[in-house]
């Protein structure tokens, strides 16, 4: 079998594997600046390699998440890296591909995140990696392409795998009592969100900013420089608003419609999308693909717009409390947060459970419920959504569970996910055993203790 591990480690496996989808560019390659690790190839899978830096960066990220260090964890991460490379190599044989549009979209999103983490300074990022922005982007693109292919292969291999209640119970009963995961205090918290509606006056202000920028561009100023200085698209800091070639379906409808309306070289009038207001310049078009650049300005709600959202939620809260209405039903009907409204407003963990560890809950939410009594609903609270919108919410503190060892009654969703993980792991083990016959695999003898090929 690809990996024989104790059952208590099964709860660890998804945590480790998930690190690979965060991106190995979370920190510079070891050895570039510090000399801490001399980089070298520690595994080859056909034409694909695993570098020591890849393993170390992933392992350090795992430790930084508060997990204890161990050879088992390091070997499991190494296993996953090799498995991913095997999937990519096998995908070539089986003609499994991902589209350039998907790769480019993920690359731009990841670059924006990396740039934001460096204070939106391309120069600081280049110093940290010792490479140009273009080199970083190219290397990241190839890495993301491999990740997406591995994800597609994993999806195909594990497609249709489910676990029954009986299998979940058998999985749980196999875990030795002294190896049961221990959960700190869990809470159930729900929210109803109202996004502050931007007034017509604020929208007009955003459009006027873009009209001014458009006029300056038409007079000869550099679109690229103005985008870098003024655009609220984080990627503009390094690409000057240039989005490269994309095909139909890659962008939001309003953006795509404008791209196919403009003539090459033309600069659009301001237009609106879900992200804000844009001006776009069409650089080229070939068939169903187009090359454009843009400047994004978001219309920001005024203080009165936010106050209106607070008033709306305060009225809704009063109605729920005085008429003893069901908070969950009201959240499904009135909340404007798509991530939680389907669950009656409840926050969920990675397993889909509404019970969340106090240590994993959003710090801002934690600070608010820490002053609340169980069963209470908070007054309207201002906050910013994950996509940067000004919003207001009310929180419902449903219940709090004491610290406890995992059990079927309180932790069914978590145990179900772990049981499903084990079943999928077995399917991947079987696939690995068969697929490894089709490719060349060589592993550095220094990692013989991981027993990857046994």
CATH number at residue 395: 3.10.50.40
Model-wide pTM > 0.85: no
Q: How far is CA 433 from CA 74, 94, 225, in A?
A: 21, 16, 54
- pLDDT tens-digit map of 77-131: 998 899 889 999 999 888 888 888 788 878 888 887 777 776 667 778 788 778 8
User: Which among 297, 315, 346 is the end of a domain?
Assistant: 297
Domain-located, residue 2: no
Statement to judge: residues 207 and 349 lie in one domain: no
Number of C-beta neighbours around residue 81 at 10 A: 22
Whether residues 209 and 277 share a domain: the answer is yes
pLDDT of residue 399: 92
Q: What is the pLDDT of residue 38?
A: 53
Asked whether residue 272 is domain-assigned, the answer is yes
Residues 25 and 111 grouped into a single domain: yes
User: Could you give the C-alpha distances from 152 to 110, 193, 246, 418, in angstroms and in order?
Assistant: 19, 34, 21, 21
Residues 50 and 75 in one domain: yes
pLDDT digit string, tens, across residues 126-144: 887 788 888 888 888 888 9
pLDDT (0 to 100) of residue 420: 93
The pLDDT value given to residue 5: 33
Residue ending a domain, among 297, 320, 351, is: 297
Predicted pLDDT at 436: 86
Same domain membership, residue 263 and residue 226: yes
Asked whether residue 1 is domain-assigned, the answer is no
Q: 28 with 148, same domain?
A: yes
Q: Do 171 and 190 lie in a common domain?
A: no
CA distances (Å), 67 to each of 43, 45, 63, 70, 324, in order?
Answer: 25, 29, 5, 9, 43
Whether 419 is covered by a domain: the verdict is yes
Residue at a domain's end among 275, 297, 319: 297
- Could you tell me the residue range of the domain that residue 352 belongs to? 182-197+302-404
pLDDT of residue 120: 66
Look at residue 18 and tell me if it is in a domain: yes
Residue 419 sits in the same domain as residue 438: yes
User: Residue 24's pLDDT is what?
Assistant: 40
Residues of the chain with pLDDT under 70: 1-38, 118-120
Residue 282 lies inside a defined structural domain of this protein: yes
In a shared domain, residues 368 and 287? no
Give CA torsion, residues 262, 268, 272, 274, to 10 deg. 60
Q: Based on the fold, state whether residues 378 and 424 are members of the same structural domain.
A: no
**What angle is formed at CA 363 by the lines to CA 383 and CA 234, rounded to 5 degrees?**
55
Residues 395 and 414 in one domain: no
The dihedrals phi and psi of 369, each to the nearest 5 degrees, come to -75, -20
Residue 163's domain is classified under what CATH number?
1.10.4030
According to the model, what pLDDT value does residue 9 have? 39
386 and 436 both lie in a single domain: no
Indicate the number of domains in the chain: 3
């Amino acid at each position: 079998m690809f990996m024989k591990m104790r059952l208590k480690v099964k709860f660890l496996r998804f945590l480790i594997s998930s690190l690979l989808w965060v991106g190995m560019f979370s920190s510079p390659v070891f050895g570039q600046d510090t000399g801490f690790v001399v980089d070298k190839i520690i595994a080859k899978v056909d034409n694909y390699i695993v570098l020591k830096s890849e393993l170390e960066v992933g392992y350090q990220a795992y430790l930084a998440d508060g997990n204890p260090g161990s050879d088992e964890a390091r070997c499991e991460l190494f296993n996953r890296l090799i498995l991913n490379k095997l999937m990519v190599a096998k995908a070539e044989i089986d003609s499994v591909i991902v589209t350039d549009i998907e790769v480019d979209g993920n690359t731009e999103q990841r670059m924006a995140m990396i740039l934001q983490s460096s204070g939106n300074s391309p120069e600081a990022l280049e110093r940290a990696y010792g490479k140009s922005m273009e080199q970083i982007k190219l290397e990241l693109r190839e890495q993301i392409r491999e990740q997406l292919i591995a994800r597609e292969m994993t999806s195909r291999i594990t497609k249709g795998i489910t676990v029954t209640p009986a299998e979940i119970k058998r999985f749980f009963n196999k875990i030795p009592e002294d190896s049961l995961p221990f959960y700190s205090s869990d809470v159930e918290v729900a929210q109803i969100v109202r996004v502050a509606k931007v007034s017509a006056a604020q929208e007009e202000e955003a459009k006027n900013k873009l009209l001014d920028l458009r006029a300056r561009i038409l007079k000869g100023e550099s679109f690229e420089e103005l985008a870098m200085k003024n655009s609220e698209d984080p990627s503009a800091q390094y690409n000057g608003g240039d989005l490269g070639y994309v095909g139909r379906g890659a962008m939001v409808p309003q953006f795509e419609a404008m791209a196919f309306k403009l003539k090459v070289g033309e600069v659009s009038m301001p237009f609106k999308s879900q992200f804000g207001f844009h001006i776009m310049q069409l650089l080229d078009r070939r068939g169903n693909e187009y090359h454009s650049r843009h400047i994004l300005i978001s219309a920001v709600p005024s203080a009165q717009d936010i106050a209106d959202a607070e008033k709306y939620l305060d009225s809704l809260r009063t109605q729920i409390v005085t008429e003893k209405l069901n908070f969950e039903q009201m959240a499904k009907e009135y909340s404007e947060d798509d991530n939680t409204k389907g669950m009656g407003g409840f926050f969920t963990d990675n397993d889909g459970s509404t019970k969340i560890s106090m240590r994993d809950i959003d710090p801002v939410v934690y600070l608010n419920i820490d002053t609340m009594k169980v069963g209470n609903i908070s007054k309207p609270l201002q906050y910013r959504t994950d996509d940067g919108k000004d919003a207001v919410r009310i929180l419902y503190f449903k219940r709090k569970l004491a610290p406890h060892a995992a059990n079927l009654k309180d932790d069914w969703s978590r145990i179900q996910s772990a049981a499903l993980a084990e079943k999928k792991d077995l399917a991947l083990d079987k696939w690995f055993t068969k697929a490894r016959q089709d490719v060349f695999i060589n592993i550095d003898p220094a990692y013989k203790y991981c027993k990857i090929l046994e």
